[in-house]
């Protein structure tokens, strides 16, 4: 949703939803103390490697205002949450980041196609013949 403000003949577009989602994501991860326990069980990190593909890496990105489509690499399996001593709901934060990307129209084309297919046909793959 884009909030439109009209003032002195000018239209100002304010991406309220994206800003809110980013702030909420940052609030969720603010208790992280970077122990790295969550990295031990992440199936994506095991395959792709690199801190940016780890749950802790994504927390660091969120804290530093890096809201990147790399967050789509997460499967939202929640394995990381089971080992987090701070009980951080990491997947909630990653979903918020995806929400911000969608609001900013920065998500993957594949995600846009999937959403369009569901809207049109109720099927993520679109028409089935």
Least gap, CB of 16 to ligand SF4 (angstroms) = 27
The CA distance from 29 to 93, in Å, is 7
Site string for ligand SF4, 3-42 (x = CB under 6 A): -----------------------------xxxxxxx--xx
Least gap, CB of 43 to ligand SF4 (angstroms) = 6
The CA distance from 115 to 67, in Å, is 20
82 binds ligand SF4, rule: CB under 6 A: no
- For the chain, helix (H) and strand (E) counts, in that order, are 6, 2
The CA distance from 65 to 39, in Å, is 21
71 binds ligand SF4, rule: CB under 6 A: no
Least gap, CB of 81 to ligand SF4 (angstroms) = 7
- By beta-carbon proximity to ligand SF4, the closer residue of 16 and 76 is 76
Strands (DSSP E) along the chain, which ranges?
A: 3-7, 10-14
What would the two tokens of residue 87 be? Answer: 């009980």
70 binds ligand SF4, rule: CB under 6 A: no
What would the two tokens of residue 126 be? Answer: 């679109």
Q: List residues near ligand SF4 by CB under 6 A.
A: 32-38, 41-44, 55-56, 59, 74-80, 83-84, 86, 88, 90-91
């Amino acid at each position: 949703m884009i909030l439109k403000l009209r003032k002195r003949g000018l239209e100002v577009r304010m991406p309220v939803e994206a800003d809110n989602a980013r702030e909420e994501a940052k609030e969720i991860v603010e208790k992280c103390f970077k122990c790295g326990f969550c990295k031990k069980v992440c199936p994506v990190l095991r395959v792709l490697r690199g801190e940016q593909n780890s749950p802790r890496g994504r927390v660091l990105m969120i804290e530093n205002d890096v809201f990147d489509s790399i967050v789509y690499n997460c499967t939202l399996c929640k394995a990381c949450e089971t080992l987090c001593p701070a009980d951080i709901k990491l997947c909630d934060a990653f979903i918020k980041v995806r929400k911000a990307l969608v609001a900013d129209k920065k998500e993957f084309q594949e995600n846009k196609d999937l959403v369009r297919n569901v809207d049109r046909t109720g099927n993520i793959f679109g028409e089935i013949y």
